[in-house]
């Protein structure tokens, strides 16, 4: 019995601690697990720089992050793909305007087992043959793709179907987001894919650059040929450079943060995002991603200062082969928030509308 | 005549076989635990240091520390215990000592049994809807603690009832015969006798609850938090979430940090369980009135 009282007292002791007023500003970030390491690195440096604001970062996935962001629950959303129409709509409904800031590139690595001797590179056409939905149950051996390849069993590994990586790969290779064969080993944890491919001679898979970089000795990277000579003829090897100079196509993708316009009114958010853009070039490489080239970050700062809301992708989600110029261009105002949040206009419209009905 | 003294060889063999199976059943899980703990200890040993325990998360695996997660888990544990234990034990006392047998009581009992078997992720969804959204607690420490308290509650009720049942009815009757009120009898006779049992059950359930990851992830507990919880409304992270994040990172150094984190979590659990055992032994000796 006294122990019960003790337990209760312990709980009670928590309360006095809580008296400190929550005066410290907090910056809430949530979203993609791919972008997480970058935001974590920036938040870490931000704290070390002695800034007062407390940054919290959650990992709900790009889609989950947008759900919270568009409900006004977070200030910044990490995203490994551009915002989708359904999310644009949700944001519009809740009057959340956003500024889209590309902050890094990621390259998707196509890898096979090191014992694979019959492949030195691969074309996007061959990749499509392997991964398209029609291949399910049909393309089961390597020889099914190219008769000159051995009749070894083909075993595929790919990221979970809820990930932005999956969205982007399917769009880039199969030309339709989310269209993929389903009979592959899928895992939300890319380390599982690495282990799988490293231990399976007939394996092939894809995942983000950083997972390849950390496991180079266990995997064989395949250069990718997209059949278009204008961005480098022949197969292109995935490196930080080939992603940055846009020759590794179509499997390079931009990563983003979306900043709520309303949150930007708070000085600490402005300060943090500014810090983010200033440090991103240095920190992205450190955590396994690739910085945007040239003065991209400077131009993003201009976009931020101008509070240019909307998405350069017109709110259509993943797109392939987006050039840096498109990425940094003026965001299209037209399809951005479909209903420009009528915050000040609403009171005028609302009382006027029901009035005629009453008569 | 010598019949009296025959030994049934078959029975002896069966006896030995059963004994062997029983020992095996005991040794096997112990070996597995030792293997698991030993394996992670070897993996994570290089990171186990004061710096690791007192450090903040970092992009550099060798600098990454676990303090916010550790503090979050401790705070969660205290809050959860403070909420679930009084209510749970109270409910158990009511059901066992006061509730008139009948349909409603049976219904409640069946429900509690069922609740104890509900997957923890369901509690996470419930917590998200009720505490985070409806009651607008946000993704705070108190929302997390309330969710874990709900998860813990049926287990506490069941464990406490089992313990209460171990007290023979004659002890209660003896108390009443001496003129004690019902509550007095419970407080002075029944509870002291079964307190060791209640505590053991409660602490074991608590140890299970703090290892839960699923409800906290569904609830939306954060992954990067660089400060300690200062109030009930604080954002928080917890050990299982930090470990989960580290294991999914590409750099091998984070996997080492994850192993070290697992050792910290397992040590906390073993300490809790050890506390249960010690309390039980000490309290059992003291029962006198």
- A358 occurs within a structural domain: no
Give the list of residues 6+ apart from residue B14 with CB closer than 8 angstroms, or none: none
What percent of chain A is modeled with pLDDT above 70? 85
Out of B75, B195, B224, closest to residue A56 by CB? B224
Distance in angstroms (rounded) separating the CA atoms of residues A155 and A78: 32
Is A223 contained in some domain?
yes
Candidate from B75, B233, B249 with C-beta closest to A22: B233
* Facing residue for A8 by CB, picked from B86, B220, B233: B86
Among the listed residues B239, B56, B243, the one whose alpha carbon sits nearest the alpha carbon of residue B148: B239
Same-domain status, A155 and A199: yes
Query: Could you tell me the pLDDT band of residue B4, with boundaries at 50, 70 and 90?
Result: low
Quick one: pLDDT at residue A354?
A: 40
User: Per mean pLDDT, which range of A126-135, A146-155, A270-279, A331-340 is the poorest?
Assistant: A331-340
Do A56 and B225 lie within an 8 Å CB cutoff? Answer: yes
Assess contact for A326 and A312: CB atoms under 8 A. yes
* Nearest chain A residue (CA) to B80: A11
Instruction: Give the tens place of pLDDT for each residue, A223-267.
Output: 999 888 777 678 999 999 899 888 898 899 999 999 999 999 999
Positive or negative, the CA dihedral B21, B26, B28, B29 is: positive
Q: Are residues A145 and A240 in the same domain?
A: yes
Bond before A250 cis per omega within 30 degrees? yes
Phi, psi for A316 (deg, rounded to 5)? -105, 10
Beta-carbon separation of A44 and B57 below 8 A? yes
Residue A14 inside a domain? The answer is no
The residue whose two tokens read 């008769």 is: A147
Helix axes B67-93, B191-210, angle to 10 degrees: 140
A304 and A270 both lie in a single domain: yes
Domain end position, chosen among A185, A214, A244:
A244
For residue A11, what pLDDT band results from cuts at 50, 70 and 90? very low
Write the DSSP string, A139-193: --BGGGT-TTS--PBPEEEEE-TTSHHHHHHHHHHHSSTT---S-SEEESSHHHH
Question: For the purposes of burial, counting CB atoms within 10 Å of the CB of B185, is it exposed (0-12), middle (13-18) or buried (19 or more)?
Answer: buried
pLDDT at A20 (0 to 100): 44
Please indicate whether residue A322 or residue A157 has the higher confidence score (pLDDT).
Answer: A157
Kindly determine whether residue A10 and residue B199, on different chains, have CB atoms separated by under 8 Å: no
Q: What is the mean pLDDT of residues A50-72?
A: 90
**Per-residue model confidence (pLDDT) at position A15:** 39
The per-residue pLDDT of chain A, averaged, comes to: 83
Nearest-by-Cβ selection for B59 from A17, A22, A44:
A44
Measured between CB atoms, does B81 come within 8 Å of chain A?
A: yes
Residues A112 and A235 in one domain: yes
A66: which chain B residues are within 8 Å (Cβ-Cβ)? none
A22 versus A40: the higher-pLDDT residue is A40
Mean pLDDT of chain B: 89
B232 and A CB contact within 8 Å: yes
Interface TM-score (ipTM) > 0.95: no
Q: Does the pLDDT at position B53 exceed 80?
A: yes
| pLDDT at residue number A8 | 39
Substitution target in A45, A58, A159, A191 with the highest count of B β-carbons within 10 Å is: A58
Give the mutation candidate from A14, A165, A209, A215 for the B interface (greatest B CB count, under 10 A): A14
A296 and A307: one domain?
A: yes
Can you tell me the distance from the alpha carbon of B255 to that of B245, in angstroms, rounded to the nearest whole number? 10
Q: Are residues A53 and A90 in the same domain?
A: yes
pLDDT of res. A355: 39
| B187–A14 C-beta distance less than 8 A | no
Q: Out of A15, A58, A189, name the one closest to residue B223 (CB).
A: A58
Identify the CATH number of the domain in which residue A224 sits: 3.40.190.10
Task: Give me the percent of chain B exceeding a pLDDT of 70.
Answer: 97
pLDDT at A63: 87
pLDDT value of position A352:
39
B184 touches chain A (CB under 8 A): no
pLDDT at A347: 41
Kindly indicate the confidence band of residue B148, based on its pLDDT and cuts at 50, 70 and 90: very high
**Pick from B223, B248, B255: CB nearest A57:** B223
pLDDT score recorded for residue B221: 83
The per-residue pLDDT for A295 is: 86
In a domain, A135, yes or no: yes
Is A356 domain-assigned?
no
pLDDT tens for A78-128 read 999 889 889 999 999 999 999 999 999 999 999 999 999 999 999 999 999
Find which of B78, B185, B224, B240 to mutate to test the A interface (most A CBs within 10 Å of its CB): B224
Under an 8 A CB cutoff, do B227 and A188 touch?
Answer: no
DSSP secondary structure, A196-254, as one string: HHHT-TTEEEEEEHHHHHTTGGG-EEPPEE-S-GGG-SS-B---HHHHHTT-S-SSEEE
Task: Tell me if chain A has a CB within 8 Å of the CB of B188.
Answer: no
Residue A338: per-residue pLDDT: 44
Inter-chain touch B250–A56, beta carbons under 8 Å = no
Residue B255 pLDDT level (bands cut at 50, 70, 90) = very high
Calculate mean pLDDT across residues B50-76. 91
Lowest mean pLDDT among A272-286, A311-325, B27-41: A311-325
pLDDT above 50 for A273: yes
**Yes or no, beta carbons of B199 and A11 under 8 Å apart:** no
Least confident of A155-169, A328-342, B117-131: A328-342
Task: State residue B286's pLDDT score.
Answer: 66
d(CA B244, nearest CA chain A) in Å:
10
| Residue B195 to residue A20, Cβ atoms within 8 A | no
Chain B residue whose CA is closest to A41: B59
Mean of the pLDDT values across residues B206-228? 86
Same structural domain for residues A92 and A200? no
Query: What residues pair up with A257 in beta bridges, in sequence order?
Result: A78, A101
The answer to whether B253 contacts chain A (CB < 8 Å) is no
For residues A98 and A131, state if they share a domain. no
In a domain, A122, yes or no: yes
pLDDT band per the 50, 70, 90 thresholds, residue A153: very high
Query: Per-residue pLDDT averaged across A312-321, rounded?
Result: 74
Query: Nearest CA of chain A to the CA of B76: how many Å?
Result: 10
From the list B79, B223, B225, the residue facing A36 with the nearest CB is B223
The reply to whether B191 touches chain A by the CB within 8 Å rule is: yes
Smallest Cα distance from B220 to chain A, Å? 7
The verdict on residue A126 lying in a domain is yes
Average pLDDT over residues A177-205: 91
Mean pLDDT of A127-139: 91
Q: How close is the nearest chain B Cα to the Cα of A73, in Å?
A: 9
The answer to whether B18 contacts chain A (CB < 8 Å) is: no
Average pLDDT rounded to a whole number, residues A308-334: 74
Backbone angles phi, psi at A156, to 5 degrees: -110, 145
Number of domains composing chain A:
2
Residues A176 and A54 in one domain: no
Position A345 in a domain: no
Among chain B residues, the shortest Cα distance to A26 is held by B235
Q: Are residues A294 and A216 in the same domain?
A: no
Kindly tell me if the per-residue pLDDT of B203 is higher than 50.
Answer: yes
Alpha-carbon distance of B202 to B276, in angstroms, equals 9
Residues in B touching A283 (Cβ below 8 Å): 59
**B289: contact with A, CB 8 A cutoff:** no
Domain that holds residue A162: 107-244
Mean pLDDT in residue range B46-65:
90
pLDDT above 50 (res B15):
yes
Q: Which of B20, B30, B153 is nearest to B95 (CA)?
A: B153
* pLDDT tier at B259, thresholds 50, 70, 90: very high
Both A193 and A80 in one domain: the answer is no
Cα separation, B96 vs B194, whole angstroms:
13
Shared domain check, A115 and A99: no
Cα-Cα-Cα-Cα dihedral of A330, A335, A339, A342, to 10°?
Answer: 10
């Amino acid at each position: 019995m006294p122990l019960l009282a003790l337990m209760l007292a312990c709980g009670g002791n928590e309360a006095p601690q809580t008296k400190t007023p929550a005066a410290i500003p907090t910056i809430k970030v949530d979203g993609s697990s791919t972008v997480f390491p970058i935001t974590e690195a920036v938040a870490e440096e931000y704290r070390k720089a002695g800034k007062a604001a407390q940054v919290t970062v959650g990992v709900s996935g790009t889609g989950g992050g947008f759900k919270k962001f568009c409900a006004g629950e977070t200030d910044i959303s990490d995203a490994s793909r551009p915002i989708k129409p359904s999310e644009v709509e949700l944001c519009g409904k809740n009057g959340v305007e956003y500024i889209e800031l590309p902050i890094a590139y990621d390259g998707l690595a196509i890898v096979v087992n090191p014992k694979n001797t019959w492949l030195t590179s691969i074309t996007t056409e061959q990749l499509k043959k392997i991964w398209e939905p029609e291949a399910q149950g049909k393309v089961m051996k390597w020889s099914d793709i190219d008769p000159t390849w051995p009749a070894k069993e083909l075993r595929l590994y790919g990221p979970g179907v809820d990930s932005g990586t999956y969205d982007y790969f399917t769009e880039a290779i199969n030309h339709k987001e989310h269209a993929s064969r389903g009979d592959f080993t899928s895992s939300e944890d890319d380390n599982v894919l690495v282990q799988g491919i490293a231990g399976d001679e007939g394996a092939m898979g894809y995942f983000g650059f950083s997972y390849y970089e950390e496991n180079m000795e266990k995997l064989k990277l395949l250069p990718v040929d997209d059949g278009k000579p204008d961005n480098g003829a022949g197969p292109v090897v995935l490196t930080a450079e080939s992603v940055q100079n846009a020759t590794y196509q179509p499997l390079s993708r931009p990563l983003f943060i979306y900043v709520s316009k309303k949150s930007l009114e708070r000085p600490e958010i402005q300060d943090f995002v500014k810090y983010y853009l200033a440090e991103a070039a240095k920190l992205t490489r450190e955590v396994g991603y690739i910085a945007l080239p040239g003065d991209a970050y400077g131009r993003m700062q201009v976009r931020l200062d101008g509070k240019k809301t909307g998405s350069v992708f017109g709110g259509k989600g993943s797109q392939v082969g987006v050039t840096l110029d498109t990425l940094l261009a003026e965001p299209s105002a037209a399809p951005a928030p479909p209903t420009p949040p009528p915050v000040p206009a609403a009171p005028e419209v609302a009382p006027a509308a029901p009035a005629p009905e009453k008569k | 005549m010598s019949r009296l003294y025959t030994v049934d060889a078959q029975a002896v063999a069966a006896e030995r076989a059963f004994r062997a199976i029983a020992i095996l059943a005991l040794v096997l899980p112990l070996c597995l635990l030792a293997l698991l703990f030993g394996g992670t200890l070897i993996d994570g040993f290089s990171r186990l240091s004061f710096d690791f325990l007192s450090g903040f998360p970092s992009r550099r695996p060798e600098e990454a520390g676990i303090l916010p997660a550790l503090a979050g888990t401790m705070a969660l544990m205290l809050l959860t215990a403070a909420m679930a234990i009084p209510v749970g034990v109270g409910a158990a006392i009511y059901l066992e000592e006061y509730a008139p047998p009948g349909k409603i009581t049976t219904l409640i009992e069946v429900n509690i049994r069922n609740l104890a078997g509900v997957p923890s992720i369901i509690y996470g969804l419930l917590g998200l809807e009720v505490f985070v959204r409806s009651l607008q607690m946000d993704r705070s420490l108190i929302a997390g603690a309330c969710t874990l308290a709900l998860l813990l509650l049926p287990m506490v009720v069941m464990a406490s009832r089992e313990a209460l049942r171990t007290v023979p009815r004659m002890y209660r009757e003896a108390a009443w015969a001496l003129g004690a009120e019902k509550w007095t009898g419970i407080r002075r006779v029944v509870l002291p006798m079964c307190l060791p049992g209640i505590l053991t059950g409660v602490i074991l359930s608590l140890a299970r609850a703090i290892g839960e990851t699923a409800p906290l992830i569904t609830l939306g507990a954060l992954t990067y938090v660089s400060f300690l919880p200062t109030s009930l409304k604080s954002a928080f992270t917890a050990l299982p979430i930090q470990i989960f994040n580290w294991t999914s990172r590409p750099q091998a150094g984070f996997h080492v940090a994850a192993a070290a984190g697992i050792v910290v979590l397992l040590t906390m659990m073993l300490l809790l369980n050890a506390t249960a055992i010690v309390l039980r032994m000490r309290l059992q000796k003291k029962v006198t009135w």
